[in-house]
Amino acid sequence: MRTVALSLSLTLTLGLTACGGPSGVHATPGSAGVGDPYFPKSGNGGYDVTHYDLTLAYTPDTSDASDTSETRDSAAAPTLTATATITARATTPLSTFDLDFQGMKVNSLTVDGKMASWTRSGQELKVRPPAALRKGRTFRTTVRYSGTPETITDPDGSDEGWLPTADGALALGEPTGSMAWFPGNDHPSDKATYDITITVPKGLQAVSNGELRSETTTGTARATTYSWHTPQPMATYLATVAIGHYDITRTTTRNGLPVYVAVDPQEAAASRKVLAKLPEIMEWEEYNFGPYPFSSTGAIVDRGGDAGYALETQNRPFFPGAPDTATLVHELAHQWYGDSVTPKTWRDMWLNEGFATYAEWLWAEDHDGDTAQQTFDALYKGTYFDDKADDDAVWAFPPATPTSAAHISDSPVYERGAMVLHKIRRTVGDARFYDIIQGWAATHRHGNANTADFTAYVEKMAPTKDFTEIWKNWLYGHGKPARP
């Protein structure tokens, strides 16, 4: 009896020790990824971020540009000194957990105010808190870091992360760029609210997501601090910071939504006419997609050479140079489809790009351009693009399953994704179609969804219709479907 009891308590004690103490029974390391089929290292297991508080101080590279000596890079002043405080809830007992963070230098790290040790390997910053974290516990990780953030090259060859611009810098995060400028759970499935505070040398401006809470210049420090607040959940890839000289226009839409537009002075003249349409586009999109999901809107326009693409950064889409109307319609449509209803994994990209592309077709149809049917027909006939290779590329793979990470922004995701939506519209009719796209945005507002959620939703909304052929041939099928 006694012997049994002894050995039992001994086992228990050993078990607790191995699991990191009483608070962490069975605590184990959080995984280094969330299992994304295209970006296996993106995100991390075992916790859910609720809020990011980022305080960034940016100093332009003050080294002499004419100095081409070998030592120039290492001698250049750091461009970013930052503190990130990440509030998260443990979803499993954690002995260690990872953050995604690529490059820069970590200077210190605490968990709930206590020094924590860390190791780094590639994009994984592994944190060992002083005591294990029990499941359900809310904990705060503070990372102090500095250095020059990296520009990351995507699998498709485009640049993201931290991009130096003609007069400042720009942070763009799709799909994995946020980890270049702040540590976090860099995957679309974990959305959080944000406070982003940026201090820049006086004379420069700093624009970010959400609403500008304050702008303060201290005479002695010769610096200006901009504090931005994002009260609705945001995926890491949609977070942005744009530093430079901007013409700022602050207005409100007819229903009182704040509009904050920042335009590089060199792009101001070319942008004026199209940006004047922003309120009208917002109204048209609210009419078609339902209530706008965020508490402010706007745009950021930098110079053409500053980035190779536009991006639907939350509240304030980014444009490299003056956008055309279709691109403005596209990026604003993403605020509903992508930013509010966010893909569960990078495989579900067509839920972003198919919708935003279809928004362009609908805009054209409603504004004396081609009908969506004409656009669909041109794509099916292979007369849409200027050259045959582009027309053929539409059929390279099914929208729901891009070939690899290098292809998540190819035309099957955009144009063929839009064709899927048009097929649904033709099957259910206009009234039901608009109910579906509005209902989809309402049902998953500020959340995440995948392709299976979408097909189930469409079937539920139109129970008498048969979508078998659309799903099988258009959404999941390889090659060009036999019939339009």
311 touches ligand TRP by CB under 6 A? yes
The binder of ligand TRP chosen from 142, 245, 288, 309 (CB under 6 A): 309
Q: Which parts of 419-438 interact with ligand TRP (CB under 6 A)? A: none
Q: How many residues bind ligand TRP (CB under 6 A)?
A: 13
Number of Cα atoms under 13 Å in the Cβ half of residue 279: 14
Q: Which parts of 137-166 interact with ligand TRP (CB under 6 A)? A: 154, 158
206 touches Zn ion by CB under 5 A? no
Binding segment toward ligand TRP, per CB under 6 A, in 6-14, 20-28, 124-132, 303-311: 303-311
| Residue 310 interacting entry, from Zn ion, ligand TRP, none, C-beta within 5 to 8 Å by type | ligand TRP
User: What whole-number distance in Å separates Cα of residue 289 and Cα of residue 348?
Assistant: 19
User: What whole-number distance in Å separates Cα of residue 82 and Cα of residue 376?
Assistant: 48
Q: How far is the CB of 378 from Zn ion (least distance, A)?
A: 20
319: left (phi over 0), alpha (psi -120 to 50) or beta: beta
- For tokens 């490299």, what's the residue? 320
132 touches Zn ion by CB under 5 A? no
174 touches ligand TRP by CB under 6 A? yes
The packing angle between helices 451-461 and 350-366, to 10°, is 50
Q: How far is the CB of 159 from Zn ion (least distance, A)?
A: 17
Q: How far is the CB of 15 from ligand TRP (least distance, A)?
A: 45
Q: Which parts of 178-237 interact with ligand TRP (CB under 6 A)? A: none
408 touches ligand TRP by CB under 6 A? yes
Q: Are 318 and 307 in contact (CB under 8 A)?
A: yes
Whole-angstrom CA distances from 43 to 161, 179, 348 are 16, 10, 16
Look up residue 256 and give its two tokens.
Answer: 């009182």
Q: How far is the CB of 402 from ligand TRP (least distance, A)?
A: 10
Q: How far is the CB of 384 from ligand TRP (least distance, A)?
A: 17
Binding segment toward ligand TRP, per CB under 6 A, in 80-88, 305-313, 374-382, 457-465: 305-313
Closest by Cα among 39, 27, 18 to 407: 39
Binding segment toward ligand TRP, per CB under 6 A, in 33-41, 202-210, 307-315, 389-397: 307-315
DSSP 28-63: BPPPS----SS-TTSS-SSEEEEEEEEEEEE----S
175 touches ligand TRP by CB under 6 A? yes
Sheet with 297-302: strands ordered across = 247-252, 258-263, 297-302, 318-320
Look up residue 279 and give its two tokens.
Answer: 């309120």
362 touches ligand TRP by CB under 6 A? no
Q: Which parts of 339-358 interact with Zn ion (CB under 5 A)? A: 353, 356
Q: How many residues bind Zn ion (CB under 5 A)?
A: 2
User: What whole-number distance in Å separates Cα of residue 220 and Cα of residue 382?
Assistant: 63
